[in-house]
Structure 1
């Protein structure tokens, strides 16, 4: 089963997106801030990370940089999720090491296509 680490501080977003991902056969683990996300990624070794960029304490850009700088987590694909769709945010996320970017509110089919593209070498449920 494909495991997704969802790093998000908004409980409503966590509930809604996690439920939809689980219905599609993914295992979802959740971290509520960037520091916890980095730690969980190192411990759990998920297949993919959905990273909110506007996180408390350690933001998503910094958390992604830490993950991509570490040998044991650098190959895990990261999709940045952001409600702040300002010009340059996508480029900034990609520069931080994110493999893909998507705006909130999430269009589930579009996000699922990005997940599938990044995990094409792995079996989908």
Structure 2
């Protein structure tokens, strides 16, 4: 049994009291988004794509269709869950990477992620 987070608590309360369903979408790598273009170094993108079981990144359309399913009558009995839309990424086992490669990737992602956030305060 998973711990009760905000989604689960709202699904219980709002489902019972107001007949409102609360679900989540957990996307994998989606091409043409900041999550891929700004956080992943260019030299890693093709390797990350090849590591996907479907050998491709998802598209914004895939996430939109997941949201449409959850909002439609087709998903009217789905409540309190997270729909994973990642092309099966979670199925693939982690690749064994040399320690230096992990450090290099970590530094690259960290430096790019700092550039994506809120600009520094001028105070």
Short-chain TM bin: under 0.3
What is the TM-score with the length of structure 1 in the denominator?
0.23
Whichever of the two has the greater Rg, that structure is: 2
Which structure carries more strand by proportion?
1
Which structure carries more helix by proportion?
2
What is the TM-score with the length of structure 2 in the denominator?
0.23
Higher relative contact order (CA 8 A, sep 6+): 2
